[in-house]
A and B are shown apart, each in its own frame.
Chain A
């Protein structure tokens, strides 16, 4: 990869919390414009990596370069070029959806905060709820607003830390759709998740974090090759509960 094509480059990244090592030498690269999924169980350090890359946490050793800027020596330049959607929807509940977006647009020093807000509200299907306080929003709406807030200012690189945790299946599929759209528009997406299906659906490249190291980092096709070749077997395909749920809910909505 030539330098311009690398959005994130991490080498030998180490971090301990009070002598308990969480990251023991993490290495990976993320290609510009791709969707990179970091998989791992709870407590393996996915969020720690996100926090280091978004300048919220200092690492102990190793290097992390984001959009060509070292996170340790050029944190302000890093912040200029990224957006973070944290693990819990970081929205202001007392403000309305529109006010939340306008606030972020003003903090990003954009010229037309209102226009930016209205466009995003429309894109995320929140126009009708725009003037309601966020405390009245459903979990899915909050997450949509949260992601919309991360899109203010059109950062080249977006970090999504477990974006669908706690969402119902419909809301999850909706979020997936937005993530795909983002990537289609050339934004690099760094995603952490504990859902294998999510990585399978979205990611160009999947890395698995375990015991403080990246143990696998490859495309889905290559990962599948790690296992014995496909055999043709005839089995009855049972619908999953998710498919049943979506079919029933979908029918109801059509009525």
Chain B
């Protein structure tokens, strides 16, 4: 065996710093990942909210979980896009010809997705507070909500990494963003699913975003979470593991 000193965490922190700069130097990314969901929240609460029968007297409370998921989903196109650029422009080749841990470059992108989404989530929750969001949830419930959001982010990030690493064109790399964007719209995020036509409501009831939204809503309202939380966790962890395996396989093929 070779005895090369291991600098994994140093390397990872350099990669993280690099991708963070990419994120925060792109006005476009910040608009899509943070400002757009806030704008949607304003739109739904102050324009459509009066007409929507959510069955709850505080529509911001009802809306917040879905808006958070939407913010996270919106940022995924950028993960694909940045990975695609690194592969195409030869930056990964440069890194891989250097004595650094091979997976550090990829994990840098994944961690940035976590950190930047955490920032977006905090900003959105603060604005929701200003708009009247209130929660009786205790520390444990909040931790559970944070955990679900982190898992959801990781699952989508690994999913977005696959086209980023394998796409032949930039358009192909970011195409993943579209189906991910649609999911929160066809879910219980904005209106109760029982108001939808049967076919749509069956889809909405059985797709990941609905159970994740319902679980978060129950946690934030101090209501019993029932099965939703387990279904939500199963979706997140399932997608994450499958996507991780395929992304890693694509990554190893690339290097």
Q: State the A residues within 8 Å of B (CB).
A: 54-56, 74, 76-77, 79-80, 82-84, 86-95, 99, 103-104, 106-109, 149, 159
Contact = CB atoms under 8 A, between A and B. Distances in A.
Given A84-B94, A93-B89, 10 more contacts: A54-B97, A56-B96, A74-B2, A76-B2, A79-B97, A87-B90, A99-B21, A106-B10, A107-B100, A108-B98
A106 B18 CA distance: 11
Contacts of A82: 97
Given A77-B2, A99-B21, A106 B14 contact: yes
Interface of B: 2, 4, 7, 10-11, 14, 17-18, 21-22, 25-26, 89-91, 93-100, 255
B245 to A, nearest CB: 22
A25 to B, nearest CB: 25
A56 B25 contact: no
The 8 closest A-B pairs by CB, nearest first: A90-B90, A84-B97, A90-B94, A79-B99, A54-B97, A80-B99, A86-B90, A76-B4
Given A95-B21, A107-B14, A109-B10, A90 B93 contact: yes
Contacts of B21: 94-95, 99
A80 B97 CA distance: 9
A58 B11 CA distance: 24
9 contacts: A56-B96, A76-B2, A79-B97, A79-B99, A80-B99, A84-B97, A86-B94, A95-B18, A103-B18
Given A88-B89, A90-B90, A79 B98 contact: yes
Given A54-B97, A86-B94, A90-B94, A109 B7 contact: yes
Nearest to A146: B94
Contact of A90 (B7, B14, B17, B89): B89
Contacts of B97: 54-56, 79, 82-84, 159
Contacts of B2: 74, 76-77
B18 A90 contact: no
Given A84-B94, A90-B90, A76 B22 contact: no
A159 B26 CA distance: 33
Given A76-B2, A80-B4, A94-B25, A103 B14 contact: yes
Residue with the greatest number of chain B CB neighbours at <10 A, chosen from A86, A87, A103, A107: A107
A120 to B, nearest CB: 15
A88 B99 contact: no
B46 to A, nearest CB: 36
A106 to B, nearest CB: 5
B18 A84 contact: no
Nearest to A108: B98
B140 to A, nearest CB: 39
B20 to A, nearest CB: 11
A160 to B, nearest CB: 12
A92 B91 contact: yes
Contacts of A90: 89-91, 93-94
A88 B21 CA distance: 22
B14 A149 contact: no
A144 B25 CA distance: 24
A88 B93 CA distance: 11
Contacts of A91: 91
Contacts of A76: 2, 4, 99
Contact of B255 (A56, A87, A93, A103): A56
